[in-house]
Amino acid sequence: MKTRDERIRYVIQHRDGSFLNVRGERKSDFMSVDRWANAEDIDLFLHGHYAPDKPEEYHAQPVRITYELEVSENVQQK
């Protein structure tokens, strides 16, 4: 049984190190902003109707997310 998986997601990061959410708010914690499935969607957002001022100052920053299943002692593993 697979009990661990890793995924890559993306966040929008400003060149000063802060992060941007879809409401245009700058945050210092990447955990408090939206995660995107691919960098292309971020590029579309940064050049779309709701783009921040100076979108060239932002980029897609990869985030590695690890999921690990907590296995109970009462569950038999196959």
**Does residue 78 fall inside a structural domain?**
no
**Does residue 74 fall inside a structural domain?**
no
**pLDDT tens-digit series, residues 21-60:** 999 999 999 999 999 999 999 999 999 999 999 999 999 9
**pLDDT tens-digit series, residues 1-24:** 788 999 999 999 999 999 999 999
pLDDT score of 71: 83
pLDDT score of 2: 82
Question: How many distinct structural domains can be found in the chain?
Answer: 1
Contact of 32 with 21, CB cutoff 8 Å: yes
C-alpha of 36 from chain center: 5
**Does residue 73 fall inside a structural domain?**
no
**Is the torsion defined by CA of 51, 52, 57, 62 positive or negative?**
negative
Beta strands in 3-77 (DSSP E): 4-14, 19-20, 26-27, 58-68
**Does residue 34 fall inside a structural domain?**
yes
User: Which residue range forms the structural domain that includes residue 34?
Assistant: 4-68
**Does residue 77 fall inside a structural domain?**
no
